[in-house]
Structure 1
């Protein structure tokens, strides 16, 4: 059976943390951040939900 390929778009967009969670970049965090509240900026951080995590793990079988 041949090796499974990693989706090239996924390896550019997602990173695995040490405890297995998946981190990703978020939209609306490049510029004009002064007009956003501290709470809004903080909420733009974070990890993926459980269902999204399962999907990304299928895209990146060797991560």
Structure 2
């Protein structure tokens, strides 16, 4: 593992939604499940430092108010 603090390793949330459709064998993956998978992922001691949040339904309403977004 490197001694450098950068670059940070982020997991993208869009793969849990793009190409997914309710009622099929490829349903969307909930935000809670995506966060759980990200938090639990580790390879050779390396873990994700964060996520790249996807402002899209069903995770987040793109028309959400500032207060609703702060609640996330």
Q: Which has the higher helix share?
A: 1
Please report the TM-score for the alignment, with normalisation by the length of structure 2.
0.28
Higher RCO (CA 8 Å, separation ≥ 6 residues): 1
